[in-house]
Amino acid sequence: MPTEILQSIILGLVQGITEFLPISSSAHLLIFHNFWESSLENSLTFDVFLHFGTLLALIIYFFKDIIQLIKGFFASIFRNNFRKKFEQRLSWFLLVATIPAGLVGYFFGDFIENNLRSIPVAIGALVGVGILFILVERFVKVLRSLEVINLGDSIFIGLAQILALIPGVSRSGITIVAGMSKKLNRGASAKFAFLMGIPIILGAVIKQLSETNISEISLAYFFGLASAFVAGMISIRFLMNFLTKHSLTGFAIYRFVLAAALIVIFIL
């Protein structure tokens, strides 16, 4: 197997797994890049392929929910029963929740990339969010299902998603813990987080597409897309099942270990 294809598969697996588990994809890629240099790492076009793979995983896993949300969105426009239909309310809540991170990412994404993408920031974010996991599991009683989410909850989770732009935070991690802090159960928080991630990732892909160089696309890119998709499907399914019976404490411990690894590798 050519080296570039092998590298694309491994990068796709890393992206697909860590994009959805609350352990920070950016922190893992920092370690990975330190030990294995690849011509694909700095390719914006390849990055688009990886993100498209994870986007496909989200769309396929939540396909039925997405169809219901689309129907609910249009029904809310043409029918006068918004308050009675959960899918109609949720479609608007998700739309509102994506706006804060979308705006901040669009206007300040380059600033964040150039000024906050550092080892100390990633270490601090890994530890800080890990502590939040433990605190929310310890002190917040999560009893509510997704059907009772309201506009205020959605805005709060959407604002929390802004923090995901900081390396080491983890989009799924910060949005799940934000949902739990509003007394949503783990499964409801994760589902809302993943559905909210679809337009954000889609927006990132569209933005990146305008800057890509189509001529550099090779067969390796499609292997990366495929591995990101497969790994993404597996990690989404795993997390949704895991959270029905287990807490976030295990992920918090993992984040602390990962932060320690970053200190050993890059600072000591």
pLDDT, residue 36, reads 67
0.85 cut: is pTM over it?
yes
Q: Which of 58-62, 199-203, 241-245 has the lowest mean pLDDT?
A: 199-203
Q: Is 144 helix (H, G, I), strand (E, B) or coil?
A: strand
Q: Phi-psi region for residue 166, left (φ > 0), alpha (ψ -120 to 50) or beta?
A: beta
Average pLDDT over residues 222-229: 94
- Helix H, strand E, coil C: the string for 198-254 is HHHHHHHHHHHHCCCCHHHCCHHHHHHHHHHHHHHHHHHHHHHHHCCCCCCHHHHHH
Q: Can you list the alpha helix ranges (DSSP code H) found in 79-150? A: 86-115, 119-139
Q: What digits encode the pLDDT tens for the residues 124-156?
A: 999 999 999 999 999 988 778 898 899 999 999
Q: Please report which confidence band the pLDDT of residue 39 belongs to, taking 50, 70 and 90 as the band edges.
A: low
Q: Please report which confidence band the pLDDT of residue 254 belongs to, taking 50, 70 and 90 as the band edges.
A: very high
pLDDT, residue 246, reads 93
Average pLDDT over residues 31-44: 66
| Structure tokens belonging to residue 32 | 């990975």
More confidently predicted of 37 and 237: 237
Spatial distance between the Cα atoms of 148 and 155, rounded to a whole number of angstroms:
14
Q: What digits encode the pLDDT tens for the residues 54-74?
A: 999 999 999 999 999 998 888
Mean pLDDT of the chain: 88
Tally of domains in the chain? 1
More confidently predicted of 217 and 56: 56
Average pLDDT over residues 68-83: 78
Mention every residue, 6+ apart, whose C-beta is less than 8 A from residue 43: 216
Q: Please report which confidence band the pLDDT of residue 201 belongs to, taking 50, 70 and 90 as the band edges.
A: confident
Determine the structural domain holding residue 173 and report its residue range: 3-267
